[in-house]
Each structure stands twice: as structure tokens, then as C-alpha cells.
Amino acid sequence: MIHLPPRYDEPLPPAFFPASAPTPFSRADFGADFHWGASAAAYQTEGAWQHQGKGPSIWDDFTRRKGVIRRNEHARVGADFYNRYEEDLDLAHGLGLSDFRFSAAWPRVLPEGTGAVNRRGLDFYDRLVDACLERDLRPWLTLYHWDLPSALQARGGWTNRNVVNWFAEYAQVMARRLGDRVQHWLVLNEPMVFVGAGHLLGVHAPGRRHLGAFLAAAHHATLAQAEGGRVLRAQLPATARIGTTFSCSYLTPQRPGNAYDEAATRRADALLNRLFVEPVLGQGYPVAELPALGWLLDRYQKPGDDQRMAFKFDFWGIQNYTREVVRFSPWLPLQWASLVPAKQRSVPYSDMGWEVYPESLYHMLKQYAAYPNAPQLMITESGSAFPDERQGTRVVDPARRAYLQAAVGQVLRAQREGVDVGGYFAWSLTDNFEWAEGYGPRFGLIHIDYNTQERTVKDSGRWYQEFLGGAPMAQEHTAENVARL
């Protein structure tokens, strides 16, 4: 078993430095139009949960329940981004980013979810967009990163088909106000996660554990995804670029060649990587692998839904953190598959318990690019949670730095093989509230001391800055290079 986190004077395991990526490489290799950014999300960073007219969200409610979040933490203050966004954008600009992705909190804009607009909430996003532009950061706005207004949850939330209209109204409000300045729009953040973790596993807001709720939420999110795209298209200038994001994991069978594990891997792929993607393309749900899911979802479908689920996005945001190993399981109906935790596999893993496997990014880019009518792909999140060590004024994080470098190398590898990939966004600009894991796992390029809210650029952030400044980067996979990290 390789233990992670490594001690900082120990060489990092070879998994950080897959030799498959081109080396050395530099920013110029990706092309002049490539977008280089970092991502963030409203609930994870903003705080100000009751400020200036904001309504409550399902995450405000969920984090109030005892025992659902590690150490019962919450993000009422978070990274205090609501008050400190200018400082954070200065730092982002200082790192040399060309793009910054953030989300808007729906209940900040529409406290009741629909109806009356909270002017001060909308003004905040207006100022944020202007502050990005003043710093030459192109804003990428995600409409929904999981903080549904509580008022809508009281009416069933994602399980109520009316959510499609509620979401359309919110999308319209945002597009009307910001469409003159925001060019890049993202509709949903990772539907599989907020639908699955929120409605089937019960580990995210709204904390439901119910197959019917999962199915209803899945179908309504699929409809809202396309409807959001249509509303934006109708509202925005022709130059706007409209996308949405998908979570994904590269999946491999525990026993390659074993028919049960191979079939389980295909079913898991349909559920985890394809469920929300193929309806967008007009292919419907991937029911060939999951017939029972198909019959169950039918209950929520109305005539014409197959067309309503489709939309021609300008790009897809791909968000990948790891690979999963799949085995046949007789215990989990529908999927008949389970994921083997990294901790049981003698592989290095991060503070999230996820296998360190940067090549996963390459494989997922290849998989999505293989759809004949796929749009351009963007890596809208990529990163890893490792501990940081303060050494004087520095925050030393060799594992994150190495991961970032390896991940960027894997994007270039895919691009060189012809994949149309147009951007890379590190998750995340700063440390922030990691949902059910609270503040434990840190993903930021910038460290936050939550006692003082002091920001410090980590070594990984410095690495990104050097790279974005044009420095050539050798893949640091030789023993001497590793020792020097």
C-alpha cells in the first residue's frame, strides 16, 4: 500500500507522473485560443448566506441537520467570497488566468425561486462580472451549482416537473441582466451528482434516499438542462457560447476479461458517464445497458420529451477527478455493479479517498469526443485534494502541484490525438467548503486560513502561474525531479 499524503521529503509515487503525456510542454502547445482558468461555486465560497435579501437554499437547510456534514460544518461564511471577491480576482489575475468560472446562487437572485427579483443579489453578480472584465478575466457563469432555493424544495424541488419552468425563469433573469457582458454560460453543474447524491444516496442536499425521487429528479434535470440552453440561446447575443457540465470517471473492470465485471463496467458507464449526455444529443437515455432504468424513467416521460431533452450546446464541460474500478455486484439492483474503493486497491489516493489517476482525464476526453456530433470539450474542473504544509510564508503542496501538471499533460495528449478541447479550469481557485466533507479536503491553488480568511498562493498556484507565463514544463517523472519538488 502506498500511503498518501506523502511526507514532503519523500518522492511521490509514479502514478503522479504517467509517462504517457508529451514532455516537455508549454502553454503555447495548446494554441493561442485555449482558455486557462480556475473554477469556483457560490455555496462553496460566497458565504453571506442571509445578506442583502438572499433567500435560503437547500444547502443552508441541509447543513443545519446534525451528522450529515463532517464536523457539522456549513458554509454560512465559507471563503467569504461575497466580501472578498476583488481580492480573489486580483489573485486570479496575478496567476495569469485568462478565464474564471463561478456560479450564481439562485436564491440570492430569486429568494422565493420565482417571482420577485432581489435587486441587491443580482447587483452582486453584476459587480462580479465587471470586476472580472476589469482584470481581463473572461467570466464563465454556471447557473446551477446545487443551491436550489428552499422555497422550491418545499414544492418538491427537482422532483416537481414545474422545476423546468422555474429554472427557465431564473435563466432568463440572469441572461437579461448579464448577457451583454458574459460570453460563456454553463447551464447545470454535474446533474449526476446533485440528482444521485442528493436524491438516491442522501449524502447531499436535499438529503433524499428514494428511487422515485431520483428518477423524477433525473428526468426533470435532463429537461431543465436543455430548456436552460434554449432560454439562453433565445436571450443572448449570437456570439454567446452555451455549455453545460458533466461529472465522469474513467471506469475499468476489477477483473479485466471477466464477463460479469466487464458487463458491470458498461452498466456503470451508462449510469455515471452517459445518462445526462446522450439525451442532449437526441439519443435518449442509454437504456440498452440499463433496461430497467428505462422502464422506470418512462413513468416520468411525456410525449415530446425526447425532443425536449435535446439541445445543441456549443461546448460540454467535462469534470473528472479519478478513475473507478468496477465489479459485478448482486446487491445493487439496476446497476448490478459496485465501485471498489481506492483504499482497497493498493493505489495512491487523495484526501477524498479518490485514486490519483491523471490519465483518467485523457480517457474521458477521448470517450466524449467519440460521439459523432459532440461539441467542443472544455475541462471545466480538474484537481485534487491534498494537505498543505505551511513553511514560513509559503504553502507547500507538491502532490497537488504534481497532479495539476500531470493532468494538464493528459489534456495535451488528447489534443494531440485530435480531440477538440478548448480549455482547462483548475478546481479550485481557492480552498472552499467541500460539501459533505466540510472544510477538510482542500482543492485550492490558493490557501485559505479560515480563522483569518487570509489568502496565500500555494506552490501549485505558483506552478500554474509559471506555466501560464510560458515556462516550458518537463514532466517531472524522473527520480531526481521528484526529489526536487
Report the nearest approach of ligand GCO to the CB of residue 117 (Å): 26
DSSP-assigned letters across all residues of 20-84: TS-SSB-GGGG-TT-EEEEE--HHHH---TTGGGPPPBHHHHHTTSTTSSGGG---SSTT-HHHH
Per-state percent for the chain, helix, strand, coil, to nearest 5: 40, 20, 40
- For the bound state, the minimum distance from the C-beta of residue 234 to ligand GCO, rounded and expressed in Å, comes to 27
For residue 251, the cross-strand partners are 324
Q: How far apart are CA 88 and CA 79, in angstroms?
A: 10
**Of residues 214-273, which lie at the interface with ligand GCO (CB under 6 A)?**
247
Taking CB under 6 A as the criterion, which residues in 411-470 touch ligand GCO?
427, 434, 443
Shortest distance in whole angstroms from residue 304 CB to ligand GCO: 31
Burial 312-351 (b: 16+ CB within 10 A, else e): ebbbbbbbbbbbbbbbbbeeeeebbbbbbebeeeebbbbb
Q: Does 382 bind ligand GCO (CB under 6 A)?
A: no
Q: Which is nearer to ligand GCO, 41 or 143 (CB)?
A: 41
Cβ neighbour number for residue 161 with a 10 Å cutoff: 15
Q: How far is CA 263 from the centre of its chain?
A: 27
Structural contact between residues 233 and 226, judged by C-beta atoms closer than 8 angstroms: no
Q: Which residues pair with 373 in a beta bridge?
A: none
Q: Is the dihedral of CA 376, 197, 303, 156 positive or negative?
A: negative
Biggest alpha carbon–alpha carbon distance for the chain: 64
Spot the catalytic one: 278, 381, 434, 476: 381
Q: Nearest approach, Cβ of 192 to ligand GCO (angstroms)?
A: 10
Assess whether 381 carries a catalytic annotation. yes
Q: Which of 403, 385, 310 is nearest to 14 (CA)?
A: 403
Site string for ligand GCO, 85-124 (x = CB under 6 A): ----------------------------------------
Question: Which is closer to ligand GCO, CB of 328 or CB of 424?
Answer: 424
CB 206 within 8 A of CB 437: no
Among 122, 193, 264, 326, binds ligand GCO (CB under 6 A): 193
What is the footprint of ligand GCO within residues 173-192 (CB under 6 A)?
189-190
Q: State the binding string over 311-330 for ligand GCO (x if CB under 6 A, else -).
A: --------x-----------
| Catalytic site includes residue 190 | yes
Site mask for ligand GCO (CB under 6 A), range 34-53, x = bound: -------x--x---------
CB of 380 to ligand GCO, least distance (A): 8
**359 makes contact with ligand GCO (CB under 6 A):** no
Q: Is 356 in the site for ligand GCO (CB under 6 A)?
A: no
- Smallest separation, CB 96 to ligand GCO (Å): 23
| Residue with Cβ nearer ligand GCO (42 or 482) | 42
Task: Return residues touching ligand GCO (CB under 6 A).
Answer: 41, 44, 189-190, 193, 247, 319, 381, 427, 434, 443
For the annotated catalytic residues, the residue numbers are: 190, 381
